[in-house]
Amino acid sequence: MNCSKRAFWFCLWLVPLQCTIDDTPQQIVEVVAFEDLSTFPIPIKIPKKKKRTGKLKNALPLLNTYSKTNLSTFSLPRIDENLTKALMQQLKLLKRRKQNYTQQFEEISLNLTDLETTIELLLLWQQTYPQGLEKHLNAYQLKGQDGKGNVKFTGYFTPELKVQKRPSKNYRYAIYAYPEDWQGQLPSRQQIDGEGALKGRGLELAYAKRLEDIYYMQLQGSGLVKYGSGQRKYFGFAGSNRHPYSSIGKHIKNNESIRLKNISMEGVKSYLKYNPDKVEDILFTNPSYVFFEASNSAPLGAGHVPLTANYSIAVDPKHIPLGGCLLAAVPIMDEEGDFSHHEYQFLLAQDVGGAIKGNGHIDVYSGVGKAAERKAMEMHHYGQLWLLLPKPSDELGPIFSNGALTSQF
């Protein structure tokens, strides 16, 4: 069959049969010329963009929780003014701890003097790039979640919250101080917020509009509250009820009756705002509860020193020492919030978090307010971590004496 015949039969196939039963008006159908068919768009299924998480998939397994690594292989970041201030706060944190404290891991044993020495060394290079640091410090890579060094990086921030000193119709949810004189097991979240277990004990610091706002301040561990008079106070972490932490996000995800696809903080906040009847049922699935103390200082971590945005991190102190200094390959996001690349950065373990468990997860502090919240919510990617410790005396000779710096520096 030649080309003209093929065109004839193709056009004939495009024309529908027209019926003239009764007086139904005929429909006019536009006939498309054969040679014009090439202009019709052909639907193509575009594959979804594979999400980049920052996880190193081809990394070799690490045998130990902390694996010794040569620090000379890294391009160390500059120790700027903000990091210098954070390092000074880290020294204060360590001075407040018991000086005879030691911590044993599978491969290394460290004491507070080791951690102090690391900080003092870094301070010698302030406002510069620490060239030659590998002569004085060893780096120990953390095994991470998958045993290949991949550590999950998430973010946290200090929220701002409007409150009143006394309860009212609109402000009726109490923010509590730690019950110092409580005997026995402290009550759960449901017992405190649902059954009023602490009501009338003089522990009420302030009152908020929504229960979920208090919950998210507890999740971050601190908050800046603003009273109607304009007065501002910092509410810092004062302790917890020591009940196990349970993620409300996981509860929502596993509950078929709750139709919510966006299980981010913003997604859950929005859902609770428009479903106030569900608030208590959802929040009470997490029995863990955080208490606060009011002060006029800057946001503090569990180490009782001010937190520094982008440098302070929350850790599980059973696996990463509080007061420790770490080198990190931090996941960096692009303008759309997707993973772009890693950058080396020093981080300081100055806080703890109820949701932070093991050596494969840390929380990076991003600051105060909405901008800090957005930055914190974007970070849910993977990087790598190395704990920095001074080289033992047999590697350094006279530079160190009993773990402390000598006058040779």
pLDDT tens track for 247-270: 887 887 777 667 776 666 777 887
Does residue 7 lie within any of the structural domains?
A: no
Q: Are residues 185 and 128 in the same domain?
A: no
- Asked if 360 and 75 touch (Cβ cutoff 8 Å), the reply is no
- Model confidence at 407, pLDDT cuts 50, 70, 90, reads very low
Does residue 145 lie within any of the structural domains?
A: yes
Last residue of a domain, one of 295, 314, 329: 295
Q: Are residues 133 and 162 in the same domain?
A: no
Q: Are residues 122 and 236 in the same domain?
A: no
Domain of residue 319, residue span:
66-156+303-405
Q: Are residues 178 and 222 in the same domain?
A: yes
- pLDDT attached to residue 397: 43
Q: Are residues 388 and 319 in the same domain?
A: yes
Does residue 223 lie within any of the structural domains?
A: yes
Q: Are residues 226 and 273 in the same domain?
A: yes
Last residue of a domain, one of 263, 295, 327: 295
Does residue 40 lie within any of the structural domains?
A: no
Q: Can you give the CATH number for the domain in which 342 is found? A: 2.40.40.10
Q: pTM of the full predicted structure? A: 0.73
Does residue 3 lie within any of the structural domains?
A: no
* 271 or 305, greater pLDDT: 305
Q: How many domains does the chain have?
A: 2
In terms of Cβ atoms closer than 10 Å to its own Cβ (0-12, 13-18, 19+), residue 144 is: buried
Q: Are residues 290 and 316 in the same domain?
A: no
Last residue of a domain, one of 258, 279, 295: 295
Q: Are residues 283 and 326 in the same domain?
A: no
Does residue 44 lie within any of the structural domains?
A: no
Q: Can you give the CATH number for the domain in which 190 is found? A: 2.40.240.50
Q: For residues 134-150, give the mean pLDDT.
A: 94
Average pLDDT across the chain, whole number: 83
Does residue 33 lie within any of the structural domains?
A: no
Q: Are residues 264 and 389 in the same domain?
A: no
Does residue 290 lie within any of the structural domains?
A: yes
Q: Are residues 319 and 291 in the same domain?
A: no
- pLDDT attached to residue 48: 53
